[in-house]
Amino acid sequence: MTQWNIQNIVSELQQARNEWRTKQKSLKDFGGRELPSKEEISKIMNDLCGILFPMRLGPHDLRQQSENFYIAHTLEKTLHALLEQVKLNLTYDDKSKKHHQSKEMIEDLAQRVVNDFAERLPTLRRVLDSDVIAAYEGDPAARSVDEVLLCYPGIFAITYHRIAHEFYTKDLPLLARLIAELAHSKTGIDIHPGAQIDQGFFIDHGTGVVIGETCVIGKNVRIYQAVTLGAKRFEVDDTGRLQKEYARHPIVEDNVVIYAGATILGRITIGEGAVIGGNVWITQSVPANSAVLQSSATKSQV
């Protein structure tokens, strides 16, 4: 029995790849898979969570008296692992953009990036503490800060986002995006790593939340499931191609609350202390301390 014609399928797949590579002008000198690895980044993120919250997210058999031993050892190991991923990201960028930097230049840059990131960790912990408190105080169902830290998808998402954003600002968008998608897949919350989010941020339930790349979010903002902070429309250049990297998402000022399903589009400003009702659709700025609510017109009884 001959079964399937493997050789034939392999050849046709090769031809399909060749067509693609010709079209995409894939660089010939990419020997191996020179891209950051999702699995590696997933492990690094787990370890970083343990480093930030050792007694809650660290290893199960950890004791408080050896927190520092655990952190020191894990940190050293994790920064080395991170260094590898940063180098892969930088090398990939370098080849894509044909900058032809030397291996040493890339190593130096990677070293600096990881060093800067490591020094930001204590600050990140403090900001995340403010997020935990915001969640505890903002949800009537929350019974303890530990429950929040262990169970709330919103806390998971903002932890990953704050780390991803560090790499976004260090010009490592691929690494940042991979981290963001790990959280998106697990929580259904899609925060672009470019979004700037101040302290005390809380997303409740979270599934379906989308926060765009150029969003700016102030202190103590609270958001519910299925909220979109998106772009209104995409600008195109003269050739009809999408323009990238311009401010196209909302600014949300301090103490704003946005209820479930609200859609806020474009570079508009939701003023300090405003309350946005559920399911509303907003494409223009909203003044401070105002409330935008769902009109009653959306239902009719039969």
Structure tokens at 170: 């260090």
Near a copy of itself by CB under 8 A: residue from 134, 234, 254, 267: 234
- Cα–Cα distance, 142 to 41 (Å, whole number): 30
Pairing of strands 222-223, 202-203: parallel
Question: Residues in contact with a copy of itself, total (CB under 8 A)?
Answer: 136
Task: Report if residue 292 touches a copy of itself, rule: CB under 8 A.
Answer: yes
| Angle formed at CA 230 by CA 292 and CA 150, multiple of 5 degrees | 85
Footprint on residues 73-102 left by a copy of itself (CB under 8 A): 73-77, 79-81, 92, 96
Size of the chain, expressed as the number of residues it contains:
302
Nearest to a copy of itself of 251, 262 (CB atom): 262
Which of 264, 269, 138 is CA-nearest to residue 210?
Answer: 264
Which of 128, 141, 166, 225 is CA-nearest to residue 44?
Answer: 166
Near a copy of itself by CB under 8 A: residue from 101, 199, 285, 294: 294
Near a copy of itself by CB under 8 A: residue from 48, 52, 158, 258: 52
Task: Report if residue 153 touches a copy of itself, rule: CB under 8 A.
Answer: yes
Near a copy of itself by CB under 8 A: residue from 109, 267, 271, 278: 278
Give bridge partners of residue 191 from the DSSP assignment: 211
Nearest to a copy of itself of 102, 295 (CB atom): 295
Nearest to a copy of itself of 102, 300 (CB atom): 300
Nearest to a copy of itself of 73, 99 (CB atom): 73
| Beta carbons within 8 Å of 85's beta carbon, 6+ residues apart | 36, 37, 40, 41, 44, 175
Task: Report if residue 38 touches a copy of itself, rule: CB under 8 A.
Answer: yes
Near a copy of itself by CB under 8 A: residue from 102, 238, 239, 241: 241
Helices 153-169 & 103-138 angle (0-180, nearest 10): 150
Footprint on residues 159-178 left by a copy of itself (CB under 8 A): 173-174, 177-178
Task: Report if residue 67 touches a copy of itself, rule: CB under 8 A.
Answer: yes
Min dist CB 216 to a copy of itself, Å, is: 16
Question: Amino acid identity of 2?
Answer: T
- Cα–Cα distance, 51 to 125 (Å, whole number): 9
Task: Report if residue 10 touches a copy of itself, rule: CB under 8 A.
Answer: yes
Question: Amino acid identity of 220?
Answer: N
